[in-house]
Amino acid sequence: MDPGLQQALNPLAPSQDTAMHVPAGSVTSHLGATGRGYFYFTTASLALCLVFAVATIMVLVVQKTDSIPNPPGKFHLKGGNCSEDISCILERAPFKKSWAYLQVSKHINKTKLSWNKDGITHGVRYQDGNLVIQFPGWYFIICQLQFLVKCPEHSVDLKLELLINRDVKKQTLVTVCESGVQTKNIYQNLSQFLLEHLQVNATISVKVDKFQYVDTNTFPLENVLSIFLYSSSD
């Protein structure tokens, strides 16, 4: 090749050192941003699925419930923020006989989770981490928990169990923190749903074997246990 032409092309070609040198910090920050983006996408997807499942059940309840005229003094809202108030939503829902919505306690010290006593309950009793049924029938049960794992040098199994009268009825298991892979923090969402026929004084509880990883700080409002009476046996 003509020496003059080769000299003119050389400045346009990146040097081997420039092409191969990538700061380690930029790779780490890029992987961290990718991990956070995946976590937020996963959380949003699970929340959407949860809303869709509850909406589907409510539609089924409405379809099976006879139309009842509004009693005196009761009328449909015209404006207001009922859509943002959970107690308002539950009070206006068709399943008025028995329901509960509890958030996990910030002080978790055992595998059986405890819940805030100031949660919303109606027609159901809360006692020592248990929801105690007062009316027989088919109940829809929802539990969602957020985990934050500071990865050790080995993998970690996260398991969520729904128990009826101390018997495991539904469980979810996921393994995080792959062995040999250096990862600082892992955010993980676990949820479980159950439709179960329950008798009076039946108990509902939740167990998590690695309870120390339940994240009560980042997303305190996302750790919930909720139930409602779908069909009464009375």
Tens of pLDDT, residues 105-161: 988 999 999 999 888 899 999 999 999 999 999 999 999 999 999 888 888 999 999
Residue range 58-74: mean pLDDT, rounded: 41
d(C-alpha 162, C-alpha 16), whole Å:
58
State in words which class domain 99-232 has: mainly beta
Q: What is the pLDDT of residue 155?
A: 87
**Residue 105 class from Cβ within 10 Å (0-12 exposed, 13-18 middle, 19+ buried)?**
middle
DSSP structure class, residue 62: H
Is pLDDT at 88 greater than 90 in this prediction? no
User: What is the band of 44 on the pLDDT scale with cuts at 50, 70, 90?
Assistant: low
Would you say residue 206 has pLDDT above 60? yes
In the chain, where the domains are located = 99-232
| pLDDT, position 154 | 84
| Arithmetic mean of pLDDT over the chain | 73
Six-digit token string for 78 = 């015209």
Q: Among 199, 210, 229, 205, which residue's Cα sits nearest to residue 100?
A: 229
